Amino acid sequence: MTASDPDNRVRTFRLRLGVAALIMLLATVVVLLRVMDLELLHFAKFRTLAYDNHVALVPVAPPRGLILADHGEVLAENQPTYALEIIPDQVPDLPATLRRLRKLLGLDAEDMHRFHERRLGKPAFDPVVLKAGLTPPQIAAVAVRALELPGVRVVAMLHRHYPYDTLFSHVVGYVGPITAADLKHFRAHTYLGRNYIGKSGLERYYERQLRGDMGYQIKDIDARGLQVGTLRDIPAQPGDNLLTHLRLRVQQAGAEAFRGKGYRGAAVALDPNTGAVLAMVTSPSFNANWFVDGISTAHWQSLLHNPGRPLMNRADNGLYPPGSCAKPFYSVQAIQDGVITPDFHTFCAGNYQLGGHTYWDWNRRGFGNTGLTKALAWSVDVFYYKLAVKMGIARQDKALWRFGFGSTPPVDLPGGASGLVPTPAWKRKHMHAPWYTGDSVILGIGQGYLLVTPLQLARAVSALANGGKLVRPQVAKAFIDPRTGRQVPIPAARPINLHISAEAMQAVHKGMEACVNTGTCRSISIPGISIAGKTGTAQVPVGYKHGRTIYNNDSLFIGWAPVHHPKIAVAVVVEYGGHNAWQALPIARAVIQAYLEPDGKTPEKVAEKSATHYDAPLANGEKGSVNPRPAHP
């Protein structure tokens, strides 16, 4: 052994000792860093995870606000029920659990499809309703198997219900299961734990006020995952109740008048001074309760294949040519612009000749010498053919836009159609043709390309009734705090002053009052109530036969009552009413009487024939062609 061997061993030992010490030091540093990470940097996270081992945060959905008619009748309410919920991230094998529950509760394919639709766009920890309206046997079947079904629970919930079924479905709307499409318009985190969201009508427009604020319960969980107590309760804040201007009796009167004859169409009633919506009837309608938990295939197919298209809100989405109901608005503009004076007269021989075309009056025998009052009372087409030529398309369009046609009425409901006010530029763009004087002639009796909605008509005739102010239609009246009963009124928007001269307004009022007293609206008369109105019949194409267009006629009415102190303005459209304007009259009569005589008897039956003695047969022909048959009153 050499002298260097002990030195080598010492150096080797020291090296190994140093390496070991370094390793121990590094290990100690790692442990200390991990402790710091757990105890300092991520303390809150791991404390929450540990806490969640024995507690659970359970969202509590608030009661949805009620929707009330003006006199307090409940139009949308909440009914207690039991539902089966699944928390997806707490279920070990979701497909197997769903198969078991389907067999256990007798669920069908539609139930499973709706469950998967409700899951879309929701986080895995958010409960999803599988089945609402559980029966006692179904509740018991799940309860006795609670330990075998982790993530599955039976909960008490409030189920939205519409007591009047079809009566207010289009205006009140309905709620339905939350979908991913809904969450694009609302903040997703505000719907954790909720089952419903407004889909249409007032339910949609006032969703934020009706839904309320979520509450939470912190539940104590035992080793088996069962809730054994509540550690903390953060109560939900119920949504505001919504009081509306809607009158139940008026809505019922309009709906029953439509339903009694099987008519399709719409009726809108407004307070002409404020724009308050008193009734908004669409016929046919649908049962809003079908949609609350997701509509069944059978119900959906029945609605889709119904030729009456009950899902369409005709009141503010139905587009119709106004026919002779447009004549009062042209009259106002013509006098306002000095095109004619109130005492202007012209001769009606039963037709009007222009450029080789013959435009027939609805009364082929003619009306003789005709002034504005007679023209409105008897809806003299020739008078308005000539007036259209005098006015020209620029003034015609000005009259229509002035009274709100061509733009969506600013009502507190989602959607709504703007209609169509044709212009020369519009025709060049869409029809690739210039505007002809003949187009103005047809437009002068509310035909041609002109399209309006019943809500637009009601708003426009309100402006005639109130002296020239274009109101903003409003369905909702006030929010009501469900805890205190305090009402917070929803202010009505200030109407637009149309600056119509008293001369023009008085002339049109006189003609529309004469229309009810002696003219085409006589059958709407109600003893003791003064009414001003105007009938309209508008041709609409319904098909083709032997190379020719086949037309039918919509029946319309606009008016208000009482004449000098207006309280209600009404617009009614009856689709495919036939060759007279009478079909809309008994509906308008029922609506007016229900509002102004709420304690009166049921409105008497209105004779189903024209009240006029000008009932000559109509000419054959097509609108817009040679010898067209124009709309008659």
Question: What does the alpha-carbon distance between residue 284 and residue 327 come to, in Å, rounded to a whole number?
Answer: 29
C-alpha dist (Å) from residue 386 to 50, 332, 441: 87, 15, 8
Q: Which amino acid would we find at residue 199?
A: K
- CA dihedral of residues 42, 43, 44, 45 (deg, nearest 10): 50
If you ran DSSP here, which 8-state letter would residue 536 be given? Answer: E
Candidates 275, 283, 273, 287; CA nearest to 251 is 283
Is the C-alpha dihedral spanning 574, 575, 578, 579 positive or negative? positive
DSSP string, 469-528: EE---B-EEEEE-TTT--EEE-PPPPPEE----HHHHHHHHHHHHHHHHTSTTGGG-BTT
SS3 at position 465: helix
For 112, what's the count of Cα atoms within 13 Å in the CB-facing half-sphere?
A: 15
Q: Could you tell me which of 330, 336, 341 has the C-alpha nearest to residue 371? A: 341
Q: What is the 3-state secondary structure (H, E, C) of 20-81?
A: HHHHHHHHHHHHHHHHHHHHHHCHHHHHHHHHHCCEEEEEECCCCCCEECCCCCEEEEEEEE
Q: By CB neighbour count within 10 A (0-12 exposed, 13-18 middle, 19+ buried), where does 117 fall? A: middle
- Fill in the amino acid letter for 195: N
Helix 327-336 vs helix 502-517: crossing angle, to nearest 10: 150
| Selected catalytic residue, list 324, 379, 462, 523 | 324
Name the phi and psi angles at 123, rounded to 5. Answer: -65, 155
Enter the tokens of residue 525.
Answer: 């008369």
Residue 609 is given by DSSP the state S
Q: Report in angstroms the alpha-carbon separations of 511 from 246, 292, 363, 514, 613.
A: 30, 48, 18, 5, 18
CB contact at 8 A, 344 and 504: no
Of 420, 622, 328, 379, nearest in space to 519 by CA: 379
Let me know: does 454 contact 318? Beta carbons within 8 Å. Answer: yes
Q: How far is CA 565 from CA 273, 474, 530, 599, in A?
A: 10, 21, 9, 20
Following DSSP, what letter does each residue of 309-353 receive, concatenated?
-TTS-HHHH--B--GGGGHHHHHHHHHHTTSS-TT-EEEE-SEEE
* CA–CA gap between residue 350 and residue 439 (Å, rounded): 19
The yes-or-no answer on residue 324 being catalytic is yes
Q: Which residues are catalytic?
A: 324
